[in-house]
Amino acid sequence: QVQLVESGGGLVQAGGSLRLSCTASGRTFSNDLMGWFRQAPGKERELVASIWWSGGITYYADSVKGRFTISRDNAKNTVDLHMNSLKPEDTAVYYCAARFALSRSYDYWGQGTQVTVSS
């Protein structure tokens, strides 16, 4: 079974940095799209960044461009989100998700990890 497990969340001061990691297991990941989402209480879940497993092409939401970097390690089946210059508005539960080949939506989700940025 496919399983996504996030780690690295925590409390950080504004302007600080944090690295989230997603470990994927249960299948061979190729021709798949991996994404990081976040959701704050009372707000809609939004796509923060995504990366194609094979080609490495990335996407970033405008709100995090220049501050966040998504990367993957094909050998270890991990996808990281490096977050720099964190702002209080970055506070949310961050989720790792996978969208497999031929799918039109994200199919699998991790349980989430809390990121809290203090002023």
What is the predicted pLDDT for the residue at 1? 87
Is the pLDDT at 103 greater than 90? The verdict is: no
- Taking a C-beta distance cutoff of 8 angstroms, is the pair 115, 10 a contact? yes
- Taking a C-beta distance cutoff of 8 angstroms, is the pair 69, 53 a contact? no
Q: What is the pLDDT of residues 50-95, one digit of tens each?
A: 999 888 999 999 999 999 999 999 889 999 999 999 999 999 999 9
What is the predicted pLDDT for the residue at 29? 78
What is the predicted pLDDT for the residue at 82? 98
Through-space distance between the first and last CA atoms of the chain, rounded to whole angstroms: 40
What is the predicted pLDDT for the residue at 14? 98
Q: What is the pLDDT of residues 1-48, one digit of tens each?
A: 899 999 999 999 999 999 999 999 998 778 899 999 999 999 999 999
Rg (CA), the chain: 14
3-class DSSP assignment, residue 19: strand
- CA contacts within 13 A on the Cβ side of 72: 24
- Per-residue tokens: 101: 């080949």
Which has the higher per-residue pLDDT, 101 or 63?
Answer: 63
